[in-house]
Structure 1
Amino acid sequence: MRRTALAGLLLLVPLAACSGDGDDGEQTLTVLAAASLTETFTELAATFEDEHPGVEVELVFGSSTTLAEQAADGAPGRVLATADEVSMGVADDAGVLATAPEPFVGNTLTVVTPPDNPAGITSLDDLDAPGVDYVVCASTAPCGAAAEELLDSAGIEAPPASEEVDVKAVLARVVQGEADAGLVYRTDAVAAGDDVAEVAIPDADDVTTTYVVAPLSGAAGASADLAAEFVALVRSEEARAVFTRAGFGEVASP
């Protein structure tokens, strides 16, 4: 079964073709998901398609805030998964959620550098060193809000060299050697493998983000059922194993 992963910053009109029945009778389930879920949701989408013959899962990844705003503006997705509850609140406040959002995993930040670590970064404090160029997510994205909180608590005063649209964009800047370091989720460091070196942050667990998922309203009949079943898969023990391998943690206690 063919499955498509799309960038999150898409016009709403092209997205309109991503839901409903195809000419060959197949159904497409469009899932809007935080960029940091790219690897895990791609695996879960394959599982879902195997369990639902005739269904194609179309994944749209991007900044949680951007995707939530698109959903609030009527983008015809069927499921929304964000990297924090604040972003999901944008869609909730707009009345486009079919049910209350539910938490499913947690994540923490880490520092990554190019494999040879040219700036010699060994701790979060080194981001304050003269000449060090580090990058973060924009503060409107969950990864940016978390980075801002972590940097403030550590007393880092040097501003980032740039603020990227989402965590995958931050990771790309580091992998391409365009930054000395970047603040990304632990899971992104795991996914990057040997393309980066990781500098662990001892107090990273003090800033944990909780991912939430919900079906979007507007679907009916079989489409609504598929959305609910995908949400159930995301919150299942089977998915838990996928998330754990990717480096995700438990949902933080309130």
Structure 2
Amino acid sequence: MTTRSVRRGRRSPQPAGAAVAALLVLSACSPGSGPADAASSKPSGTVTVFAAASLKESFTVLGKQFEEEYPGTEVTFNFSGSDTLAASITGGAPADVFAAASAGTMRTVTDRGATAGAPRTFVRNRLEIATLPGNPDRIGSLEDLTKPGLKVVLCDEAVPCGAAARTALRAGGLRLTPVSYEEDVKSALTKVVLKEADAAVVYRTDVRAAGDKVEGVDFPEAAEAVNDYPIALLDEARNPGTARAFIDLVRSAEGQKVLASAGFLTP
């Protein structure tokens, strides 16, 4: 906000002009007259959230809760692999909030100065093996995935779930050549659901979300590859006030309850 300066050389400023200037200042600074991102403003309008694919179920629930709590708002989501989302954001894609499945992926955005403030970790997630219902191949460990003839899929190593799987395999001293690398964790899980693969290394939350379509197998190496999930307001957010309110919901006790019920861990 700028106001016209009065040069000292003038002897007597016009009273009417001064009054108008004062009214403009008061109007610009008065509560409720600013944009939706003013601290005192009620959330309104659309907020666009780019979120890791593994957050789809829980964030969809939170989005509905947010819209019910703040009538007149709309939460739109773009769920995909975190690396794909990060590339879209740094490439100029319009978004208000970014929730990534790893701190490393978030850094690719913060390093480009695309976030407004420091990201905050809101949950953690760990890996699990997804097998066909009933576990017909009797998979009981990460090492079992290296059995000859077993069709295993992994997330691409550029994606957080793929990087975590690589870390877990390294921790177990194991080498595994999958039949395919998938672009995100949902795609990897779908291969098992469709019986195109015998097993996949995915997140525990995705196994839970799939219900009886798959069976989960825990393995100790997963403890060496737990992912932190950070969330951040983006610097180019078009609706920052409403975006902050959504982030507050995610990090609130209510939001954490929804995320915990999906299988996420507290940070």
Q: Same fold (TM over 0.5)?
A: yes
Matched letter for residue 175 of structure 1: V
Asked if 2 retains the 8 angstrom alpha-carbon contact of 1:33 and 1:67, the reply is: yes
Distance 1:129 1:230 in 2: 45
Aligned twin of 1:117 = 135
Aligned-pair identity in percent equals 45
Distance 1:218 1:33 in 2: 16
Aligned twin of 2:113 = 95
Aligned twin of 1:127 = 145
Distance 2:175 2:67 in 1: 47
2:46 aligned with 1:28: yes
Runs of 4+ in 1 over 3 A off after TM superposition: none
Residue segments in structure 2 that go unaligned for 5+ positions in a row: 1-35, 37-43
Aligned twin of 1:211 = 229
Q: 2:58 aligns with which of 21, 36, 40?
A: 40
How much does 1:217 deviate? 1.4
How much does 1:224 deviate? 1.1
Distance 1:140 1:162 in 2: 14
How many residue pairs were aligned?
Answer: 225
Distance 1:157 1:206 in 2: 16
Higher CA-based Rg: 2
TM-score, scaled to structure 2 = 0.81
TM-score, scaled to structure 1 = 0.86
Q: Deviations over 1:37-92 (max 9, x none)?
A: 00010000001101111111001000011101111111111000000111111111
Residue segments in structure 1 that go unaligned for 5+ positions in a row: 1-19, 21-25
Distance 1:51 1:44 in 2: 10
Matched letter for residue 235 of structure 1: R
Matched letter for residue 58 of structure 2: T
2:207 aligned with 1:189: yes
- Give me the CA root mean square deviation: 1.4
Aligned twin of 1:232 = 248
Matched letter for residue 56 of structure 1: E
Matched letter for residue 198 of structure 1: G
Aligned ranges for residues 10-29 of structure 1 at < 5 Å?
A: 27-29=45-47
How much does 1:116 deviate? 3.4
Distance 2:194 2:174 in 1: 24
Asked if 2 retains the 8 angstrom alpha-carbon contact of 1:127 and 1:156, the reply is: no
